[in-house]
Amino acid sequence: MQGDREKILNSNFDGYLSRPVDARALAQELDRVLRHQGDQEVSADQVSGSKGSGKAGAVREGT
């Protein structure tokens, strides 16, 4: 939908992928998020957002 990306990014998320998800775009976004985490240990919840966020396609760093 028009404006979804802006709504997500303005809701304190650091990234957004639209559907259908392109594997290359997903890999690039994951790489960006993981590099940003630096030396911190990254859990699956940190990569995918927060538990039960319900925001498909959104990525929140450092929950």
Nearest to 33 by CA among 53, 13, 5, 18: 13
Q: What pLDDT, in 10s, does the model give residues 48-59?
A: 555 444 445 555
Q: In whole angstroms, what is the distance from residue 29 CA to residue 35 CA?
A: 10
Q: What pLDDT, in 10s, does the model give residues 3-57?
A: 888 998 888 887 888 899 999 999 999 998 888 776 456 566 666 555 444 445 5
Are 47 and 30 in contact by the 8 Å Cβ rule? The answer is yes
Looking at residue 59, what DSSP letter applies? E
Q: Name the pTM for this structure.
A: 0.48
